[in-house]
Amino acid sequence: MSKKVLVVDDASFMRMMIKGFLTKNGYTVADEAANGVEAVAKYKEAGPDLVTMDITMPEMDGIQAVKEIRKIDGDAKIIMCSAMGQQDMVVQAIQAGAKDFVVKPFQEERVIEAIKKILD
């Protein structure tokens, strides 16, 4: 059974790119969300095996969304994705419970490697 991934990014083209990487590599896209509020709701609905989470989004940023998802599921597997490779953002994301961090622009190999490492 293929693993289900929730794709969260406020940019639809980024969601499309990540979904392409996932399907090409045998993963199922459980759902997608454009902000942290949607991400939390869709996590409850879809029950994905993993979440790819953007940091900078409207309504609720990715770090806050990670905290909310981790309240629902302490074992949630989340990979942060952001153009901002700033050290403090990485630290905040990991402290919030993210398992890994991938910097945009994405390289397919790096995204899939991070997903495999966490799901295996």
Model pTM? 0.94
Q: Enumerate domains of the chain plus CATH numbers.
A: 4-119 (3.40.50.2300)
Q: Confirm if 87 and 66 have CB atoms less than 8 A apart.
A: no
Mean pLDDT of 2-9: 96
Question: With pLDDT > 90 as the criterion, what percentage of the chain qualifies?
Answer: 79
Cα distances (Å, whole numbers) of residue 119 to 22, 36, 43: 13, 22, 17
pLDDT tens for 77-92 read 999 988 765 678 878 9
| Cβ atoms of 51 and 77 closer than 8 Å | yes
